[in-house]
């Protein structure tokens, strides 16, 4: 048995205080979660499976294992996809315990170096890229028609773009497509620009709860300043943090009078009411459920309703879909510390997509799009990934240019 040093004793106690021994013991070690765990399916070693990670937590709580940077890595390599919790027959909430472990590891200073860099960028620049936050509207600088939300400081609706869509050129097409769609539908919205900070989810899942709380408070204040009653987001992580984590960080009343929608929820209604009339897109597609939107926020049907509203489009499901969907690998901030692992996870999801015979993967997340697209490029696969808002805009543009709108 490894003796626990006095200086880490407090951390062990903290871990034991935040993760109850009874909750860990709920795991009956059946191993059913392993098949659903994307990191286990790539690495095939027990310490990268949910069951193995929980065994590590238990060993630390019981004083049988010393906390170390190597221990921390096992937790920061988890994509927090929640597939384990969804599959577990004994009701073990492995993903919640693994997230709690990250919070304790952060407090203990056991954060992997790349994640520390990400937290520094969030603290100093208020976004994940490290760019000047004032440049958050660069995505619309070259658009033929500037989004109407650009010049509007007050509106019923705020379009909260998120860091990836705002600052990563590969994803600019997503806010471009969505803002044009809102304009076409006559939805009045405001963009927050530099007043939009990172939603706080990357800080929260890295363990820095106080930084996440600061970001949550800032963003809600910016939304209130705009006089909005509704926030619409294109990013599933923004959606999940607004709807599930902000109330935890700031209290339930923090969101009083404010409705939060993912873009697909708004689009499904606009398409079904006839406010948007897309042209036919005769193509066979498969839909990849983003973990933060689907399994973790239970938004499964709106993106499918959007796809079904596009004439001529055929939707085929992958072998693992909905609540059982396989993560693309892009979650949990793992990209910062283990890019090769992420790439392998994405490869597995691409194989499932290829098996459907689809010509296109559609998702509802800029991070899933980035992860799957770059893995497909590395494998020289002719299988593109697009965001559902891009596909909708493509169909609307055809109607628009055909003069039938
Ligand atoms: S499925 Fe649940 S009970 Fe079975 S090994 Fe995984 S966490 Fe433990
Ligand atoms: S949250 Fe996902 S990656 Fe993490 S242990 Fe569970 S199934 Fe594996």
What strand order describes the sheet that includes 314-316? 314-316, 284-287, 360-363, 384-387
Alpha carbon of 84 to ligand 2 centroid (Å): 6
Nearest C-alpha to atom 5 of ligand 2 is from which residue?
Answer: 50
By the 10 Å C-beta count (0-12 exposed, 13-18 middle, 19+ buried), 366 is classed as buried
- pLDDT recorded at residue 4: 46
Task: Please say whether the beta carbons of 135 and 206 come within 8 A.
Answer: no
Q: What's the gap in Å between 328 CA and the centre of ligand 1?
A: 22
User: Residue 60 C-alpha to ligand 2 middle, in angstroms?
Assistant: 19
Task: Give backbone dihedrals phi and psi of 81, rounded to 5 degrees, phi first.
Answer: -85, -15
DSSP 3-state assignment of 157?
A: strand
- Residue 403 CA to its chain's centroid (Å): 37
Please name the residue whose Cα sits nearest to atom 1 of ligand 2: 80
Ligand 2 pocket check for 83: Cβ under 6 Å: yes
Q: Specify the domain boundaries for CATH 1.10.1060.10 within the chain.
A: 6-110
As averages over each run of 10 residues, the pLDDT of the chain (405 residues) reads 52 86 93 93 92 93 85 91 96 95 91 94 97 96 94 95 96 98 97 97 97 98 97 98 98 96 98 96 98 98 98 97 95 89 96 98 97 96 97 91 47
Q: State the pLDDT at residue 8.
A: 60
CB atoms closer than 10 angstroms to residue 126: 22
Helices (H), 148-258: 163-167, 173-185, 201-206, 209-225, 236-240, 246-250
Alpha helices in 244-365 (DSSP H): 246-250, 263-272, 301-308, 334-337, 339-355
The protein residue whose alpha carbon is closest to atom 8 in ligand 2 is 37
Residues 328, 289 contacting (CB under 8 angstroms):
no
pLDDT of residue 6: 43
Ligand 2 center from residue 248 Cα (angstroms): 22
- What residues flank ligand 1, with Cβ below 6 Å? 27-33, 50-51, 84, 87-88, 90, 92, 94
Ligand 1: which residue has its CA nearest to atom 2?
Answer: 88
Does residue 262 sit in helix, strand or coil?
strand
Residue 214: both structure tokens together: 């600061």
Q: Show the tokens assigned to 362.
A: 């559609």
Multiple choice CATH, 6-110, 3.20.19.10, 1.10.10.10, 3.30.70.1060, 1.10.1060.10: 1.10.1060.10
On whether the CB atoms of residues 182 and 189 are closer than 8 A, the answer is yes
CATH architecture label of 275-401: 3-Layer(aba) Sandwich (3.40)
Ligand 1 center from residue 68 Cα (angstroms): 24
> Which pLDDT score is estimated for 401?
67
What stretch(es) of the chain map to CATH 3.40.50.1860? 115-268, 275-401
The CATH number of 115-268 is 3.40.50.1860
pLDDT at 404: 38
């Amino acid at each position: 048995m490894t003796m626990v040093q006095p200086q880490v004793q407090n951390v062990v106690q903290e871990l034991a205080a935040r993760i109850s021994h009874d909750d860990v013991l709920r795991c009956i070690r059946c191993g059913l979660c392993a098949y659903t765990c994307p990191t286990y399916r790539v690495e095939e070693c027990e310490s990268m499976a949910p069951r193995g990670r929980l065994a590590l937590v238990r060993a630390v709580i019981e004083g049988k294992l010393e906390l170390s940077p190597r221990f921390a890595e096992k937790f920061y390599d988890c994509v927090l996809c929640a597939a384990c919790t969804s599959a577990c027959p004994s009701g073990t909430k492995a993903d919640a315990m693994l997230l709690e472990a990250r919070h304790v590891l952060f407090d203990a200073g056991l954060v992997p170096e790349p994640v520390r860099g990400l937290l520094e960028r969030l603290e100093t620049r208020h976004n994940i890229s490290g760019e000047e936050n004032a440049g958050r509207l660069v995505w619309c600088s070259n658009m033929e028609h500037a989004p109407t939300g650009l010049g509007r400081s007050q509106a019923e609706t705020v379009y909260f773009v998120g860091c990836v869509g705002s600052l990563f050129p590969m994803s600019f097409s997503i806010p471009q497509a969505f803002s044009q769609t809102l304009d076409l539908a006559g939805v009045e919205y405001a963009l927050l620009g530099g007043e939009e900070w990172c939603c706080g989810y990357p800080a929260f899942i890295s363990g820095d709860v106080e930084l996440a709380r600061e970001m949550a408070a800032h963003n809600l204040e910016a939304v209130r300043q705009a006089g909005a009653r509704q926030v619409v987001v294109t990013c599933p992580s923004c959606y999940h943090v607004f709807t599930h984590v902000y109330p935890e960080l700031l209290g339930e009343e923090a969101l009083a009078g404010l409705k939060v929608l993912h873009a697909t929820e708004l689009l499904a209604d606009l398409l079904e009411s006839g406010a948007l009339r897309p042209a036919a897109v005769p193509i066979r597609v498969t839909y990849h459920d983003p973990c933060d939107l689907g399994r973790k926020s239970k938004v499964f049907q709106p993106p499918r309703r959007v796809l079904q509203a596009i004439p001529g489009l055929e939707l085929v499901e992958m072998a693992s879909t909905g609540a059982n969907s396989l993560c693309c690998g892009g979650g949990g901030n793992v990209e910062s510390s283990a890019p090769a692992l992420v790439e392998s996870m994405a490869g597995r999801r691409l194989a499932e997509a290829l098996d459907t015979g689809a010509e296109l993967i559609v998702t509802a997340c800029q991070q899933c799009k980035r992860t799957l697209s770059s893995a497909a490029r590395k494998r020289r696969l002719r299988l593109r990934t697009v965001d559902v808002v891009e596909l909708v805009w493509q169909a609307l543009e055809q109607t628009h240019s055909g003069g039938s709108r």
